[in-house]
Amino acid sequence: MNFNIAIIVSFLFLADYGAASQVLDISKFGGAPNSDITQAFANAWKEACESTTAVKIVIPSGTYKLNAIDAKGPCKAPIEIHVDGTIQAPRNQDEIKGDTQWVKFSYMDSLTLSGKGVYDGQGAEVWKQKTGGPAWSGKGKMPKVFMNFGFNFVNNTIVRDITSKDSKNFHVLVFACHNITFDGFTISAPKDSPNTDGIHLGKSTNVKILNTNIGTGDDCVSVGDGTKDLTVQNVNCGPGHGISIGSLGKFTTEENVERVLIKNCTLTDTDNGVRVKTWPNEPATLTITGLHFEDIIMVNVRNPVIIDQEYCPWNQCNKQVPSKIKITKVSFKNIKGTSGTAEGVVLICSSSVPCDGVELNNVDLTFNGTPTVAKCTNVKPIVTGKAPACQAPAA
């Protein structure tokens, strides 16, 4: 009986696999190594999107050129894009056509990006042109194309094993998405590459970033407004600016951030560790709640644990007017390692809406072999286990 059941199960598995394995090799559409495959990919996407059965678009080993693509749904069946080669963006931003996202997916359900391939944004020439700070500061020059990947209104999607390299700006934007997972993903850019955030999220729910390595010139993960039910687990961050909630509060249309878990992560030689940042002197009123930072290792991280409600880079605001954003229910638990400064914990909350429900539990950080201290303003954290007691800031 068991043997017969095994045969039936195997048959059903093979039948299902066969039904879901329509393969479209890019060569079918004229895409060949050492050539521009922009039109070939567009044609492959059109056929895949119109198919009523699941389709896998395959780009095999080799080096390919690709201009901006805008892969739109809705499509009729699941689509997988499997890349084993290296796909290169144009070096010159003026040669790139289309939107501010090089590889853009919109209005999709059941999308998979897979393979051992590399999406190379070739951002070095653009980085040289950006001087004096980000464009919103009024001092920098922003490139025409901002990022390697854009996921917009994309649901039930997985990105696994691929690499995003040297994006001209952000590597990945996740906007208005639901149930999207990054697993075994790699993001790579030099530590001096400006504004090359790893994964930036906004107005998205149920996002998971798992088993991922991120080394870049800005935040490894940056969490924008409207993010809810985010898990970042088993992520290695460094170089970069750490894992950040925010910055938030600059625009009146911003939505609450709720239920974020950052767990089992290692940050190495980053400017910051885990951070919450909001703007003072801005009109937005929203709530940040349910943040849990757990089981995190810091290796020579300059500012390991931060709440900063006076975030004001490039002196673009007035710190005398407090942030209107309420931060509540935040826990820092089992955070260990080495700090690059004596103040391993800095909690600067708003005088207008002080932080509530902040917990420091087993936060064990050292600076030059000595336990770090905590600086706290407008917050009275619950301190348990081995954790630094709060000190008032210097007058």
Catalytic residues: 218, 241
Instruction: Please identify which residue in the block is written with the tokens 């095999």.
Output: 60
Interatomic CA distance for residues 101 and 171, integer angstroms? 9
Question: Residue 212: exposed, middle, or buried by beta-carbon count in 10 A (0-12, 13-18, 19+)?
Answer: buried
Nearest Cα residue to 169 out of 152, 144, 151: 144
- State the amino acid at position 206 in one-letter form: N
Instruction: Please identify which residue in the block is written with the tokens 């080799």.
Output: 62
Asked if residue 248 lies in contact with residue 278, where contact means CB atoms within 8 angstroms, the answer is: yes
Interatomic CA distance for residues 395 and 375, integer angstroms? 12
Interatomic CA distance for residues 225 and 200, integer angstroms? 10
* Helix and strand element counts for the chain (H, E): 3, 31
Beta strand spans in 166-321 (E): 172-175, 178-183, 186-188, 199-202, 205-215, 221-223, 228-237, 243-248, 257-263, 266-268, 272-278, 287-301, 303-308
Q: Give whole-number Cα distances, 324 to 152, 260, 280, 305, in Å.
A: 29, 20, 7, 21
Please name every residue paired with 210 in a beta bridge, in sequence order, or none if there are none: 183, 233
